[in-house]
Amino acid sequence: MKRITIYDVAKEASVSLATVSRVINGSEVVREDTRMKVQEAIEKLGYKPNAIAQGLALQKTTTIAFVIPEASFFYTGQIINGLIDVAKIYNYNMVLHTTTEGISATSDIIETIIKSRVDGVVIFNDKLDKDEITTLTNYDVPIVVIGNRISDNNICSVYVDYETLIYDYATRYYDAGKKDIALIEDRKNPAMIEQLQHGLQRVYKDHGETFKNFVKIPKEYRSSYEYLKEYFKTNKHDLIVTYRDSQAMAVLNTAKELGIKIPEDMELVCVLDSKYNAMARPQISGFKIPDYDLGAVSMRIMTKMLQEGEKDGYNRETELSYVYTARETTK
Amino acid sequence: MKRITIYDVAKEASVSLATVSRVINGSEVVREDTRMKVQEAIEKLGYKPNAIAQGLALQKTTTIAFVIPEASFFYTGQIINGLIDVAKIYNYNMVLHTTTEGISATSDIIETIIKSRVDGVVIFNDKLDKDEITTLTNYDVPIVVIGNRISDNNICSVYVDYETLIYDYATRYYDAGKKDIALIEDRKNPAMIEQLQHGLQRVYKDHGETFKNFVKIPKEYRSSYEYLKEYFKTNKHDLIVTYRDSQAMAVLNTAKELGIKIPEDMELVCVLDSKYNAMARPQISGFKIPDYDLGAVSMRIMTKMLQEGEKDGYNRETELSYVYTARETTK
DNA sequence: GTGAAAGCGCTAACAT
DNA sequence: ATGTTAGCGCTTTCAC
């Protein structure tokens, strides 16, 4: 099947290809009757402009690259939805790249991204360090980073301040005399855990103490659950902080099995709230993180960065807020 | 910052652009010393071939479009991971499109896909009907459909046979005298539910009876949970079948609240297994659906479709199997 | 208001 | 083994 081109349309409508181009791009200077003629030819032939050729001629692709570690979690999906919805409104396409360990190094991905001449790139990545982002800076393509507070000439970021989140929350506990607060490690989200750690450290430091209850999951344990079953046999705290729902549920289950009453004996909060927290029994308290908005806002900022004129229409760093939902695992 | 092109490299290396092109594409006919010369020039200038221009010249984009309803569920993410991992191995890029209701009609998406001249499209969609897929057929781009058994000239499909899955499973219950089997509706996955319904209908038909226990969630209820709380006050069955984990958990919670013992009074199986099923108490039995493989296999088939020579190296329809995991909600 | 022609950056015959 | 040249499909001056 022959791909029909702008030439075919031009011939069909007995005009030059320049005129067809003008019609496609909604140029005002075309006379109404020729516009109709061209429009008809387009319909008749079922012509679809070749975005690749347009990209070449215009030196832009109207495409944004999105890089994520893996598309595994529910909230990653939500971020993607946010990004895509806004991208659509502004007629951008999205290409998706993932930094699966073993299968593709970040440098390879950057390579492909540069080659594909996208207009911008949005990065959501726990592991991507500043060096790698700096590499991207060299190609002077606009970048929006989701999750980490970072900014530069053509780098913006959209994030939630987990450090302050947990600082504020834990401080209330500390001040109420519940000073024994523990944080469960999450190997899959090291960057987030680090932020939480910093927040808790500040709480203790404020009172001249040191935060010590960082519960690491030893490598030999297949899951947090396996280890926690051991851990809680000999440990108990006033408040347990986890990052993901599945870890909170692991705490819930082990506690029940060991006869630790939640929230009476021990309280539990899951930073990253999810529908599963509400389905657990007792229902797990958590913070509603605006995952969809993280995506949507990022893309909106990207579109602004891409508009020459709007150079000052956006902030380099955008902090998104969260809402605490008290459920049954906290008093 | 001036984008440096193949011409710049040619000039730098004092060769023609054809030679540079040959080096880039690993042509064998280039003498070693000139290859080195060119390679050096490429390094020095930091040249990256423009994939857009390559696409134009080669009439192919090495890009696959992927269409999903929404990136919300965990398994959608897994499918994406499978797709991407394989896509990477074969050096394909992926563009992601979603059919968010309200924001973008499927026809618009098809429009953009066609314009972007992707080499193939993978579709995972409950709602996309055959008409829409047929529209794509007109543009003779290779298509792989995930989830539904469907095939045509340039359409392949990869799927799990939910009908047979539940038919086999429910038959065992029926034959054991547990004839009261109910299926919970899932508005978000109508196509899957339909398959399950067909399977159960066959079970009853085999015995000259009619399957009636399809539990619809009335529109006025915000969630399955809200309705099920009412439903189970006056209803009880031998076996409850749900599609997603969250619905199974809703059944679990309402049952517990109403004093219905699971699995003693009523058994429960969740077709689409997830880690949350294992975290629930009692743990929910389910089928391990190979979500990652659905993606991976689909992309593998796509690469085969794209290879001219390999016309017969793949099946039009590929059925993937599942593994049943008995846990605590079934006897 | 419309057409002719020069690119956009690259590949692939075809020459040499 | 390397260079020349004609596209790939489109946009955009610049003439008319």
Say what the pLDDT of residue B1 is. Answer: 58
pLDDT in tens, A98-127: 887 766 677 888 889 999 999 999 998 766
Of the pLDDT bands very low, low, confident and very high (cuts 50, 70, 90), residue B188 is: confident
Contact status, residue B67 vs residue B98, Cβ threshold 8 Å = yes
CATH level 3 topology of B162-288: Rossmann fold (3.40.50)
Among A3-7, A130-134, B100-104, where is mean pLDDT lowest?
A: B100-104
Cβ atoms B215, B185 nearer than 8 A: yes
**Confidence band (pLDDT; 50, 70, 90) for B298?**
very high
Out of B51, B85, B115, closest to residue A100 by CB: B85
Shortest CA distance from A274: residue in chain B: B246
Position B309 pLDDT exceeds 60: no
CA gap A235, B62 in Å, rounded: 55
A63-160+292-321 and A162-288, same CATH topology:
yes
Give the contacts of B188 (CB within 8 A, at least 6 positions apart): B126, B244
Can you give the pLDDT at residue A264?
97
Q: Which nucleotides of C are covered by protein (CB under 7 A)?
A: 1-5, 7-13
Q: Of A299, A322, A319, nearest to A82 (Cα)?
A: A299
Q: What is the pLDDT of residue B139?
A: 81
The token pair at B147 is 């989830």
Which residues in B lie closer than 8 A to residue A48 (C-beta atoms)?
111, 114-115
Amino acid in the structure at residue B203: V
- Chain B environment of A72 (Cβ under 8 Å): 74, 77-78, 81
Q: Which CATH number is associated with domain B63-160+292-321?
A: 3.40.50.2300
Calculate mean pLDDT across residues B139-143: 88
- Between A243 and B68, name the one with better pLDDT: A243
Measured from Cα to the C1' atom, the residue closest to C13 is B18
Burial tier of A217 (Cβ tally within 10 Å: 0-12, 13-18, 19+): buried
Tokens of A264: 């009476």
pLDDT (mean) for B279-292: 96
pTM for the full model?
Answer: 0.91
Q: What is the mean pLDDT of residues B300-322?
A: 87
Could you tell me the residue ranges of all domains in chain A?
6-57, 63-160+292-321, 162-288
Q: What angle do CA A221, A103, B303 make, to 5 degrees?
A: 130
Name the nucleotide nearest B30; use CA and C1'.
D1
Architecture category of domain B6-57 in CATH = Orthogonal Bundle (1.10)
**Tens digits of residue pLDDT in A257-298:** 999 999 999 999 999 999 999 999 999 999 999 999 999 999
For residue B94, give the nearest of B73, B69, B116, B72 by alpha carbon: B116
pLDDT recorded at residue A119:
95
Contact B249 A276 (CB under 8 A): yes
Q: Mean per-residue pLDDT for A142-154?
A: 90
pLDDT computed for residue A38 by the predictor? 95
What's the pLDDT at B103?
65
Is residue A1 pLDDT above 60, yes or no? no
- The nucleotide whose C1' lies nearest the CA of B50 is C9
Q: Helices then strands (H, E): number in chain B?
A: 13, 12
Q: Do A50 and B115 touch (CB under 8 A)?
A: yes
Contact A84 B77 (CB under 8 A): no
Q: Which of B4, B203, B240, B51 lies closest to A56 in space, CA to CA?
A: B51
Whole-number pLDDT of residue A102: 65
pLDDT digits (tens, 9 = 90+) for B192-201: 999 999 999 9
Record the tokens describing residue A184, joined without a space.
């469960």
Pick from A249, A250, A204: which is nearest to A225 by CA?
A250
Question: Could you tell me the pLDDT band of residue B104, with boundaries at 50, 70 and 90?
Answer: low
B125 — phi, psi (to 5°)? -155, 125
- Both structure tokens of B248: 């199974």
> What whole-number distance in Å separates Cα of residue B215 and Cα of residue B218?
9
DSSP E strands in chain A: the ranges are: 63-68, 93-98, 120-124, 143-146, 155-160, 181-184, 214-215, 239-242, 267-272, 285-288, 317-320, 323-325
Res A176 pLDDT > 90: yes
Tell me whether residue B207 is exposed, middle or buried, using C-beta atoms within 10 angstroms of its C-beta: 0 to 12, 13 to 18, 19 or more. exposed
A87 min Cα distance to partner chain B (Å) = 10
Q: Are A41 and A47 in contact (CB under 8 A)?
A: yes
Q: How confident is the model at residue A128 (pLDDT cuts 50, 70, 90)?
A: low
Half-sphere exposure of B240 (CA within 13 A, CB side): 31
Q: Which two tokens stand for residue B276?
A: 């949350």
